[in-house]
């Protein structure tokens, strides 16, 4: 079994990104700018935002975190987003999800300038992605594809099963695997005979949001298992959707939690901010 070290790959890619950012700043005088907007005090969101801020600063970006109270109205949040839409010093705008229940998440995502939507959730970016002309790609699936490349896992001709059908992970993950010439099945919590279906997979991606849901009965000998889950057990320990200790006995490759997919998600957000800056500058063709 090979443990797929997302943390190590993320550190390598972020080091390369810092070098590219330094060159960009030297040639243009401009540094990529990423603003993260956090509403409320969700503990998990606080951790994610701190990690994003740390990564942005390490890459040499301009970084700002706007922390708004739980009581912020939708109109107030929209006003903040519009201010950064209009400010050309900022190339990426990220609104941390989930939002408080009184705020319409769809309305907020629609308000972000598609050119600054580094999460890739705006319908315009989703449409470009699904039509085969991607500009912004949801970061978690993009990070998974980088992990597969790092470990020389070519999806072409392979059977892939994605357990989970969210717009953030499951559906775009299936599309990226399809683009890589895999034969893809999307499954979910209501799929009949799910363990048997999952056992057909050469590449199994699990993003169902249930701690240790996938056990060894779901996994074919020698399969590649990608665990996207981020859950807490009864002791507060971070665990994945896959029962790692039993699945790693039969998988050829597996991502741990933590240290697998998570660091790659943040890395791809930084990559997309960098490329958004380059598109803004019109230097995509001749910059690193």
Mean pLDDT by 10 residues, the chain (288 residues): 96 97 95 97 87 94 96 98 97 95 96 96 93 93 98 98 95 97 96 98 97 97 96 90 96 97 96 96 56
CA-closest candidate to residue 117, choices 280, 274, 266, 272: 272
Annotated binding-site residues for NADP(+) read 164-166
What are the Cα distances from residue 188, in Å, to 193, 236, 240?
11, 25, 16
The number of beta carbons lying within 10 Å of the beta carbon of residue 235 is 6
148 and 107 within one domain: no
255 and 153 within one domain: yes
pLDDT score of 118: 96
168 and 76 within one domain: no
74 and 105 within one domain: yes
Residue 15 lies in a domain: no
Annotated binding-site residues read 164-166
Contact 173, 130 (CB under 8 A): no
Distance CA 7, CA 47 (A): 16
Distance CA 58, CA 144 (A): 22
Residue 184 lies in a domain: yes
pLDDT score of 43: 84
pLDDT score of 284: 43
pLDDT score of 166: 93
What are the Cα distances from residue 166, in Å, to 25, 187, 188, 220, 267?
37, 11, 10, 24, 21
pLDDT score of 283: 47
What's the predicted TM-score (pTM) here?
A: 0.93
List, in sequence order, every residue forming a beta bridge with 23; answer none if it has no partner: none
Residues labelled catalytic: 52, 96, 119
Residue 168 lies in a domain: yes
**What CATH number did the domain enclosing 63 receive?**
3.40.50.10860
**Domain coverage including residue 193:** 139-261
DSSP string, the chain: -EE--HHHHHHHHHHHHHHHHHHHHHHHS---EEEEEEES--HHHHHHHHHHHHHHHHTT-EEEEEEE-TT--HHHHHHHHHHHHH-TT--EEEEPSSPPTTS-HHHHHHHS-GGG-TT--SHHHHHHHHTT--SS--HHHHHHHHHHHHTT---TT-EEEEE---TTTHHHHHHHHHHTT-EEEEE-TT-TTHHHHHTT-SEEEE-S--TT-B-GGG--TT-EEEE---EE-TTS-EE-SB-HHHHTTT-SEE--SSSSHHHHHHHHHHHHHHHHHHHHHT-TTT--
The total of structural domains in the chain comes to 2
248 and 149 within one domain: yes
252 and 167 within one domain: yes
pLDDT score of 21: 97
Residue 109 lies in a domain: yes
């Amino acid at each position: 079994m090979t443990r797929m070290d997302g943390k190590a790959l993320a550190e390598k890619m972020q080091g390369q990104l810092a070098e590219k950012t330094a060159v960009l700043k030297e040639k243009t005088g401009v540094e990529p700018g990423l603003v993260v907007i956090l509403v409320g005090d969700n503990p998990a969101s606080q951790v994610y935002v701190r990690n994003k801020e740390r990564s942005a600063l390490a890459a040499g970006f301009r970084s700002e975190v706007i922390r708004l109270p739980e009581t912020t109205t939708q109109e107030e949040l929209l006003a903040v987003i519009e201010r950064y839409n209009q400010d050309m010093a900022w190339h990426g705008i990220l609104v941390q999800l989930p939002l408080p229940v009184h705020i319409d998440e769809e309305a907020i995502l629609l308000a972000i300038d598609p050119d600054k939507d580094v999460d890739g959730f705006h319908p315009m970016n989703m449409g470009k992605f699904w039509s085969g002309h991607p500009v912004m790609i949801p970061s978690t699936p993009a990070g998974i594809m980088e992990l597969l490349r790092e470990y020389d896992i070519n999806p072409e001709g392979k059977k892939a099963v994605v357990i989970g059908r969210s717009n953030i992970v499951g559906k775009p993950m299936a599309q990226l695997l399809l683009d890589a010439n895999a034969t893809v099945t999307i499954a979910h919590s209501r799929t009949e005979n799910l363990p048997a279906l999952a056992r057909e997979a050469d590449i199994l991606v699990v993003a169902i949001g249930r701690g240790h849901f996938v056990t060894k009965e779901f996994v074919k000998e020698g399969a590649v298992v990608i665990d996207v889950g981020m859950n807490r057990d009864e002791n507060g320990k971070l665990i994945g959707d896959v029962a790692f200790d039993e699945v790693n006995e039969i998988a050829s490759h597996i991502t741990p939690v933590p240290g697998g997919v998570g660091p790659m998600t943040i890395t791809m957000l930084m990559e997309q901010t960098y490329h958004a800056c380059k598109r803004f500058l019109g230097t995509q063709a001749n910059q690193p």
